[in-house]
Amino acid sequence: MAPYKQLDFLSLDDQFSEDERMVRDTVREWVGDRFLPGIAEQFEAGNFPMEFVPELADLGVFGPTTPEEYGGAGLNNVAYGLICQELERGDSGLRSFVSVQGSLVMWPILEYGSEEQKRQWLPQLAAGKVIGCFGLTEPDFGSNPGGMLTTAVRKGKDWVLNGRKMWITNGTVSQLSVVFARHEDTYLGFLVENDRPGFSAPEQKHKFSLRASVTSELVLEDVVVPDSARLPLAKGLRAPLSCLTQARYGISWGAVGAAQACFDEALSYAKERIVFDKPLAAFQIPQKKLADMATQITLGQLLALRVGRLKDQGRYTPAHVSMAKRNNVAMALDVARTCRDMLGANGISLEYQVGRHMCNLESVITYEGTHDIHTLAIGQELTGIQAFR
Ligand SMILES: Cc1cc2nc3c(=O)[nH]c(=O)nc-3n(C[C@H](O)[C@H](O)[C@H](O)COP(=O)(O)OP(=O)(O)OC[C@H]3O[C@@H](n4cnc5c(N)ncnc54)[C@H](O)[C@@H]3O)c2cc1C
């Protein structure tokens, strides 16, 4: 197959600064040279390639918007978006690993943590020396985290945590969990070291999606943590929801990357594959599919970029992010399914990328707020009426 050539129909490259392009190109090259050659095998084996963690840290992709004084790269949000785009061009599992570390572990510490917590954890997380996970979802409460059953009870200077979290990315391979628990009439956030007595994180197996990503249960049985492990500024559901907004923003770019990977593969394939004595690309039906996909990918790029610029100006809202996540993931899933079809039987082989991306995107459309939940968030923004209950 031809080398990767990203679709840039409207010369969006002009819209990025030199620094933003440099960050993007560095990550793109790493994904092509280091990550893609082994991903099919990792996906089949159901592994995340942990051996790449030091290289990812050297690339500066863990919490890249974190200020340099805490070990981050201090990049802007558009550069972060471009990083997500390139990582997810590789695999949604790779982008998920990085999203959780940066947006769901480092960001809450930066936003809701004490100075001591920031100094203790952020440099180690940025360097990949500590891996973190984010425990919000429970077996019976996903879209409605307010129903959570995990509890935090004060005992002298300590807290005792009990409960079960489910579908937690990186749980089994992490050393630190951001855990949310109910306390009286509110919700609190804790930094739980995973070697605390009573804590375990068994892996959830048998996934057909995001196979190159570790997904786990978190089991908390009388886990005792000191008050210094509580995120002092995290009170109520606003805290976990604001973390999700950060991660969803990255997903809106990442989905464009997955769609780009599929489009590029299907376009090359259509030019090479001969059917009825002509290349597949010479027929009108495949051309229409390519034209539709190129248009939708371009619109997705524009949406992510606009939200990114608004975020960098401090003008974005959670509803903006809902629109970008909802549209771009649905777009990417449609593109992946169409490309899978265009490759015929080869489309279901792991020797090609389209089937793997298609399966992965079935998770991406569900996690970080399902498609329908984002529909309701946008509906609420437009009408002023919440329709969640
Ligand atoms: C691979 C993977 C990784 C994940 N990683 C993490 C993680 O790291 N941390 C974490 O905390 N969670 C994680 N999750 C969990 C994820 O965020 C939840 O699965 C998601 O929020 C949906 O919750 P649910 O699965 O309980 O579905 P439900 O909430 O039960 O939803 C089922 C269906 O009902 C619909 N629905 C729900 N409420 C409404 C409503 N009010 N109106 C209309 N329709 C509604 C939904 O859209 C969906 O179609 C992960 C999930 C997956 C698959």
Task: Decide if 68 is catalytic.
Answer: no
Q: Which of 215, 370, 374, 378 to mutate to test the pocket of ligand 1 (most atoms within 8 A of CB)?
A: 370
The closest residue, in CA terms, to atom 23 on ligand 1 is 142
Q: Is 367 in the pocket of ligand 1 (CB under 6 A)?
A: yes
How close is the Cα of 142 to the center of ligand 1, in Å?
4
Q: Is 100 in the pocket of ligand 1 (CB under 6 A)?
A: yes
Q: Hunting for tokens 């399914």 — which residue is that?
A: 337
Distance in angstroms (rounded) separating the CA atoms of residues 92 and 247: 13
State CA 187 to chain mean position distance: 24
Q: Is 246 in the pocket of ligand 1 (CB under 6 A)?
A: no
pLDDT, position 3: 87
pLDDT > 70 in the chain, percent: 100
The closest residue, in CA terms, to atom 47 on ligand 1 is 372
Residue 2: pLDDT band (50, 70, 90) is confident
- Beta strand 176-183 with 132-135 is parallel
Q: Hunting for tokens 């009439």 — which residue is that?
A: 185
Residue 90: pLDDT band (50, 70, 90) is very high
- Contact yes or no for 9/298 (Cβ under 8 A): yes
Q: Which amino acid is at 318?
A: P
| 1 pLDDT higher than 80 | no
Structure tokens, 92? 């949604």
Q: Hunting for tokens 């984010």 — which residue is that?
A: 134
- Tens of pLDDT, residues 23-58: 999 999 999 999 999 999 999 999 999 999 999 999
Burial class (CB in 10 A: 0-12, 13-18, 19+), 207: middle
- Contact yes or no for 223/199 (Cβ under 8 A): yes
42-to-13, 46, 347 alpha-carbon distances in Å: 32, 6, 18
Q: Which residues, including other chains, have CB under 8 Å from residue 181's CB and lie 6 or more apart?
A: 148, 150, 151, 152, 161, 163, 187, 188, 190
How close is the Cα of 94 to the center of ligand 1, in Å?
20
Q: Hunting for tokens 């978006």 — which residue is that?
A: 81
Residue 79: which of 97, 66, 93 has the closest Cα? 66
Q: Which amino acid is at 177?
A: S
Q: What is the mean pLDDT of the chain?
A: 98
Q: Which of 104, 105, 131, 137 to mutate to test the pocket of ligand 1 (most atoms within 8 A of CB)?
A: 137
Which helix (H) or strand (E) segment holds residue 54: the answer is helix 53-59
Residue 228 DSSP symbol: G
- Tens of pLDDT, residues 106-150: 999 999 999 999 999 999 999 999 999 999 999 999 999 999 999
Distance in angstroms (rounded) separating the CA atoms of residues 131 and 100: 9
- Tens of pLDDT, residues 256-288: 999 999 999 999 999 999 999 999 999 999 999
Residue 201 DSSP symbol: -
- Contact yes or no for 39/90 (Cβ under 8 A): yes
| 160 pLDDT higher than 80 | yes
- Contact yes or no for 329/361 (Cβ under 8 A): yes
Residue 184 DSSP symbol: T
Q: Which amino acid is at 226?
A: P
The closest residue, in CA terms, to atom 53 on ligand 1 is 363
Structure tokens, 197? 């007595």
Q: Counting every residue, how long is the chain?
A: 389
Distance in angstroms (rounded) separating the CA atoms of residues 242 and 301: 23
- Tens of pLDDT, residues 325-376: 999 999 999 999 999 999 999 999 999 999 999 999 999 999 999 999 999 9
**Between vectors from CA 30 to CA 28 and to CA 33, what angle results, nearest 5°?**
105
| 207 pLDDT higher than 70 | yes
Please report the atom of ligand 1 found closest to the CA of residue 387.
41
